[in-house]
Amino acid sequence: MTVFTLVRHGQTDWNIARRYQGQKDIPLNAEGLRQAQQLASQLNGKPFDAIYSSDLQRALETAEILHYERDIPLRTDVRLREICFGEWEGEVFSEMYAKYPERFAQSRANPAIVMAPGGESVAQVAERTTSFADEVSHHFPLGKLLVVTHGMALATLVCRANNLPLTEAHNMIPENATPIEIRWEEKKIK
């Protein structure tokens, strides 16, 4: 069984402004850099076989800080990107909630429904993150891997690893730069 230590990237200015980041390439802010450095200290001495990261800047910056002084591979994978919010990327949460209350209620009740025009559903995110985890766990069947990703991408992995319905995904999103350990057995979900 592969052990994944999942980490949500450090804080960004858009986290503070409560904006949908999605797949926009937003950098860490000063607090996010500090959070990543603090997490690196916390994980110091913990052995990992490799680090995988989303290719988006905020996750990769976090991963690079966690990788510092570790003699292990650091790889990026687009399947670890955040959920795509389509036309809502850059918009403020509260404004979208007020504008589309029915869509939000439906998306939480049924994660197969696309949340935003031109965006992805939670189920689509789960398909790609599961594909990533299955592939990596196949290569590291007894491995210990550090995975730096985003809130919803991370939450779908937590749900899949623990056999939870995707309706729970929104409740599984951790704070920035917070590690969560899961044990992964191949799901082989197509």
**pLDDT tens track for 30-41:** 999 999 999 999
Alpha-carbon distance 59 to 137, whole Å? 21
Q: What is the pLDDT of residue 190?
A: 43
The mean pLDDT value for 8-27 works out to 97
From 158, 157, 156, 149, select the one nearest 176 (Cα to Cα): 149
Specify the pTM: 0.93
The Cα 171–Cα 169 span in angstroms is: 5
Q: Where are the domains of the chain?
A: 2-184
Query: Is the distance from CB of 35 to CB of 177 less than 8 angstroms?
Result: yes
Output Rg (C-alpha) for the chain, integer angstroms.
16
Q: Read off the DSSP letter of residue 23.
A: T
Which active-site residues does the annotation give? Answer: 9, 150
The answer to whether residue 162 scores a pLDDT higher than 70 is yes
Tokens representing 165 are 């319905």
CATH of domain 2-184: 3.40.50.1240
| Cα(150)–Cα(157) distance, integer angstroms | 11
- Taking the C-alpha atoms of residue 116 and residue 120, their distance in angstroms, rounded to an integer, is 7
